[in-house]
Amino acid sequence: MLGKLMKYELRATSRTMLPILGVMLLVSGLANLAVRWMNTDRLPAALSVILGLSMVAFILGLISLGAITVFVMVARFRNNLLRSEGYITHTLPVSVHAQIWSKVLTAALWYAAAIVTIVLSVVLLVLDVDFIRGLTDALGDILRLFTDFNNVEVLVELLVILFLESVAMSLMIFAALSVGHSFSSRKMLASVGVFILFAVLTQVVSGVRVSMVPDAGLAAGTETAARGFMESWRITCGHLALGAIVSGGIYYLITAWFLKNRLNLE
Amino acid sequence: MPILTCAGLSKSFGGTKALDGVDLTLEPGRIVGLLGPNGSGKTTLLKLANGLLRPSAGKILIDGKEPGVETKKIVSYLPDRACVPDYMTGAQLMAFYGDFYSDFDASAAKAMMERFEIDGRAKIKHMSKGTREKLQLIAVMSRRARLYLLDEPIGGVDPAARDVILGTIIANYDPSATVLISTHLIADVERVLDDILFLKSGKIVLAAPAEELREKHGKSVDEIFREVFRC
């Protein structure tokens, strides 16, 4: 049944997500043209304005794509499980766990798609642009001079952390919505209040946990600052990943319990 | 075995008791009217039977089991509101039901859609409120379920459409199944009911076969209802 649920989840969310990701790639292509032609005098004024705006849209899109994806997944969760549509969803012969997993896995797929789109957008932006290529090469050379900074490893780990944190964040919002919608009135206000509470608790626990992590460079007994940096980075990544998995697990259990025992559909 | 059993079933919301110690048994093969004014607890009872709410006290069993994945396979539920995903087309909604319910009869759904002249290719969001309700009823009545729980199936439609909807219910349910119809529009449904349940302030105040009630009181069920619930 999970496969069937996911089929309908993907169908419902792709109506919104595919156009968003498509527009992001389109804007990246336009931004590439903007960068190439930025010093050309022969462009018509209107086209210059469009290309300039595409550059602004590219930057805004890059910054907000993750937040937009989270928003779409949260809206889907709320509409499908906590509002009128929930009368159909909750009377399907499937378990609450299958319902939540279908939302989490679908969200995870779209987060991965958003991350791939961000990477593709950056690649599209710099594609065949001498100025940017020169700039990134120079930046890489500078970093390599001072550290053994492995930019591929750092990028992959950064993306994995981003992915795990997005899933954990979604589960935190799912849990807040499930708790908030168990109230008899002012459900969204209650959800926002619960979300703030969860966010503060998560930050406090995370802060305590990070303060207990020993200084990575010293602990590893490394000889150079460069090695120390990578050791620190890896340990931090490990802790962030573990934190996201543990907090995600706790918020999953809260979501399941409230959907099963405190469901209060509008 | 009874298809639905309630024993001391109660449900409270804060300090308000929506259901108060309901004892009830529904046998297979009956069309039962769950009758009561607004706020009497009809919708709460149906939500409890569907696992959308949890009892505060007592228990409710469907075919001997607490509401859950197994009971949802044999219960076909029509909520008291239009709640079908409006981004789907009518045909997609039927395919959705077919995907999740093994007892869904696609040919029966197609025949009903043709009879109601509903275009399966049209998006639900472009349909009128009445058409959406008919579409939802078609999806629910196209299942070969053992228990149909219909919450105000004729509440939002005009008198002419009520007869068509009731006709659809009668023509499409399996005679060995039980149909529980919740409504306060007694006069319209009375003719199809085998048994009557009067719910008042969360309690069953009267439960009897419809024919027996009419003979005993010399009145229609609608008239008896007006006497019982006179303010």
Based on the fold, state whether residues A27 and A131 are members of the same structural domain: yes
Domain ranges for chain B, please list them: 4-228
Based on the fold, state whether residues A139 and A79 are members of the same structural domain: yes
Based on the fold, state whether residues A208 and A230 are members of the same structural domain: yes
Mean pLDDT of A61-80: 91
Going by C-alpha positions, the residue among B166, B153, B158, B167 that lies closest to residue B76 is B153
Based on the fold, state whether residues A108 and A181 are members of the same structural domain: no
Q: Give the residue on A whose Cα is nearest the Cα of B52.
A: A263
Based on the fold, state whether residues A124 and A189 are members of the same structural domain: no
| B52–A7 CB contact, under 8 Å | no
| Gap between the Cα atoms of B185 and A40, Å rounded | 76
- % chain B with pLDDT above 70: 100
Q: Measured in Å, how far apart are chain A's first and last C-alpha atoms? A: 26
**Counted domains in chain A:** 2
Q: Testing the interface with A: which of B70, B99, B124, B149 to mutate, by most A Cβ within 10 A?
A: B99
| Contact list, A263 vs chain B (CB under 8 Å) | 52-53
Query: Which among A146, A161, A178 is the end of a domain?
Result: A146
Q: What is the ipTM of this complex?
A: 0.90
pLDDT of residue A217: 47
Which residues form the domain of A139?
Answer: 1-146
Question: B204-211, long-range: CB within 8 Å, 24+ apart, which pairs?
Answer: B204/B22, B204/B23, B204/B24, B207/B24, B210/B33
| Gap between the Cα atoms of A7 and A3, Å rounded | 6
Going by C-alpha positions, the residue among A43, A57, A49, A80 that lies closest to residue A178 is A80
Torsion, Cα B152 A9 A95 A244, to 10 degrees, reads -130
Query: Which among A109, A125, A146 is the end of a domain?
Result: A146
Going by C-alpha positions, the residue among A29, A115, A30, A106 that lies closest to residue A65 is A115
Based on the fold, state whether residues A90 and A202 are members of the same structural domain: no
| A91–B83 CB contact, under 8 Å | no
Confidence of residue A105 (pLDDT cuts 50, 70, 90): very high
In this predicted model, what pLDDT tens digit does every residue of B26-71 receive, in sequence order?
999 999 999 988 889 999 999 999 999 999 999 999 999 999 999 9
pLDDT of residue B48: 95
Where is pLDDT greater, at A75 or B165?
A: A75
Residue among A7, A85, A93 whose CB faces B72 most closely: A93
Query: Which among A98, A120, A146 is the end of a domain?
Result: A146
3-state secondary structure of B150: strand
Based on the fold, state whether residues A100 and A84 are members of the same structural domain: yes
| B52–A8 CB contact, under 8 Å | no
Lowest mean pLDDT among A16-25, A92-101, A197-206, B95-104: A197-206
CATH of domain B4-228: 3.40.50.300
Q: Measured in Å, how far apart are chain B's first and last C-alpha atoms? A: 38
Based on the fold, state whether residues A1 and A43 are members of the same structural domain: yes
Give the amino acid at A201.
L
Q: Decide: B58 and B8 in contact? Cβ < 8 Å.
A: yes
Please provide the DSSP assignment of A193-259 as one string: HHHHHHHHHHHHHHHHHHHTSPPHHHHHT-SSHHHHHHHHHHHHHHHHHHHHHHHHHHHHHHHHHHH
- pTM of the complete model: 0.85
Query: Is the pLDDT reported for residue A141 higher than 90?
Result: no
Give the amino acid at A200.
V
In this predicted model, what pLDDT tens digit does every residue of A195-239 receive, in sequence order?
999 999 988 988 887 777 665 444 445 555 556 677 777 888 888
| Contact list, B100 vs chain A (CB under 8 Å) | 1, 4, 92-94
In this predicted model, what pLDDT tens digit does every residue of B136-187 receive, in sequence order?
989 999 999 999 999 988 877 777 778 888 888 887 778 889 999 998 888 8
Based on the fold, state whether residues A142 and A130 are members of the same structural domain: yes
C-alpha distance from B120 to closest chain A C-alpha (Å): 18
Residue among A95, A184, A261 whose CB faces B13 most closely: A184
pLDDT of residue A145: 58
Average pLDDT, chain B: 90
Query: Is the pLDDT reported for residue B12 higher than 80?
Result: yes
Query: Is the pLDDT reported for residue A37 higher than 50?
Result: yes
Confidence of residue A24 (pLDDT cuts 50, 70, 90): very high
Based on the fold, state whether residues A84 and A155 are members of the same structural domain: no
Based on the fold, state whether residues A105 and A156 are members of the same structural domain: no
Tokens of B205: 């105040």
Residue A64: in which H helix or E strand, if any?
A: helix A45-77
Based on the fold, state whether residues A185 and A96 are members of the same structural domain: no
